């Protein structure tokens, strides 16, 4: 109810996908509301040069909201460049609480939640990926922190195989897949135990978290 009253004050929505944003706002608030608002798209293809244009309505006092398709805007999701410019222009920024699979995974991992890092997407290219994984393992050891990263769902199995092949047997790995779905699976085990565990990824999104 609180979030609903906040959303009703918003005139202009900056969204990843206009169609699904309109649909969700219709369902959450109502079709009249959804149809009477303005929309602009900000996604991973938005160029830095077009950010000032998106911000323009806010400079004349319009209240805008950023909506993500899934996850928290600006955290492993588009939006940061726009917010950075808003701060520069002294426009008030207000975050609203929402679930994020990264932090749900971290809280359920049993790994270090006092000091952690999220590394975004792991490189695709074979050598770079191996180098990055080994570097993250060393960094985790040095800083005594957990380190999370993600991969495109159809590459998860491959990444998991590489992780098992190159990380140290005693390094802990959490796999959190299908969070908040009926197929939710979360387990933390040392690499040596994962090697003996018959786990295959489905095509659901997953978060990997390691701690050396």
91 binds a second copy (CB under 8 A): no
198 binds a second copy (CB under 8 A): no
138 binds a second copy (CB under 8 A): no
In this structure, are residues 198 and 164 in contact, taking their beta carbons and an 8 Å threshold?
no
Q: What does DSSP assign to residue 179?
A: T
Among 16, 77, 137, 151, binds a second copy (CB under 8 A): 77
Cα–Cα distances in angstroms (integers) from residue 181 to residues 9, 101, 176, 196, 206, in the given order:
31, 11, 11, 26, 12
The distance of closest approach from Cβ of residue 111 to a second copy in the complex, given in angstroms and rounded to an integer, is 7
51 binds a second copy (CB under 8 A): no
48 binds a second copy (CB under 8 A): no
How far is 111 from 53, CA to CA, in rounded Å? Answer: 42
52 binds a second copy (CB under 8 A): no
Among 36, 47, 114, 196, binds a second copy (CB under 8 A): 114
The distance of closest approach from Cβ of residue 77 to a second copy in the complex, given in angstroms and rounded to an integer, is 7
Which helix (H) or strand (E) is 185 found in, with range?
A: strand 185-190
How far is 194 from 191, CA to CA, in rounded Å? Answer: 5
User: How many C-beta atoms surround the C-beta of residue 205 within 10 A?
Assistant: 17
Among 36, 47, 97, 200, binds a second copy (CB under 8 A): 97
187 binds a second copy (CB under 8 A): yes
76 binds a second copy (CB under 8 A): yes
In this structure, are residues 187 and 208 in contact, taking their beta carbons and an 8 Å threshold?
no
Positions in the binding site for a second copy (CB under 8 A): 72-77, 79-87, 92-100, 103-120, 145, 174, 179-180, 184, 186-189
């Amino acid at each position: 109810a609180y979030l609903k009253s906040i959303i009703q004050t918003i005139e202009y929505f900056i969204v990843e996908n206009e169609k699904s944003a309109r649909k969700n706002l219709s369902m959450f608030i109502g079709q009249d509301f959804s149809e009477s608002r303005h929309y602009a798209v900000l996604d991973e293809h938005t160029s830095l040069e077009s950010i000032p244009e998106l911000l323009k309505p806010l400079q004349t006092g319009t209240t805008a909201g950023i909506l993500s398709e899934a996850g928290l805007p600006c955290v492993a999701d588009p939006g940061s460049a726009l917010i950075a410019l808003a701060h520069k222009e002294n426009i008030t920024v207000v975050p609203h609480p929402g679930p994020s699979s990264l932090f749900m995974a971290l809280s359920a991992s049993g790994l270090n939640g006092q000091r952690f890092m999220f590394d975004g997407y792991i490189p695709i290219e074979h050598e770079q990926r191996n180098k990055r994984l080994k570097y993250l393992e060393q960094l985790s050891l040095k800083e005594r922190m957990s380190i999370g990263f993600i991969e495109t769902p159809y590459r998860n199995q491959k990444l998991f195989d590489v992780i098992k092949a190159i990380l140290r047997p005693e390094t802990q790995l959490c796999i959190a897949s299908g969070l908040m779905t009926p197929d939710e699976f979360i387990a933390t085990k040392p690499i040596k135990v994962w090697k003996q565990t018959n786990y295959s990824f489905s095509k659901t999104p997953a978060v990997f978290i390691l701690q050396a």
